[in-house]
Amino acid sequence: MDNKPLLLKLSGFVPENNRKEFVQTFKLAFSQISSECLEKTLSGDCLVNGYYHFISLWPSEKALRDFMQSPEFVLIEGAFETLGTSQKTSRIFNETKT
* CATH code assigned at 86: 3.30.70.100
Alpha carbons within 13 angstroms on the beta-carbon side of residue 68 total 20
Q: Alpha-carbon distance 43 to 28, whole Å?
A: 16
Burial call 63-78: b when 16+ CB within 10 Å, e when fewer: bbeebeeeebbeebbe
What pLDDT digit, counting tens, does each position of 63-82 carry?
999 999 999 999 999 999 99
Parent domain of 78: 6-95
Q: Alpha-carbon distance 19 to 83, whole Å?
A: 8
pLDDT band for 93, please (50, 70, 90 cuts).
low
Q: How many domains does the chain have?
A: 1
CB atoms within 10 A of CB 80: 23
Q: Alpha-carbon distance 27 to 34, whole Å?
A: 14
Task: Supply the pTM of this predicted model.
Answer: 0.84
- Residue 56 counted as domain residue: yes
- Residue 1 counted as domain residue: no
pLDDT band for 16, please (50, 70, 90 cuts).
very high
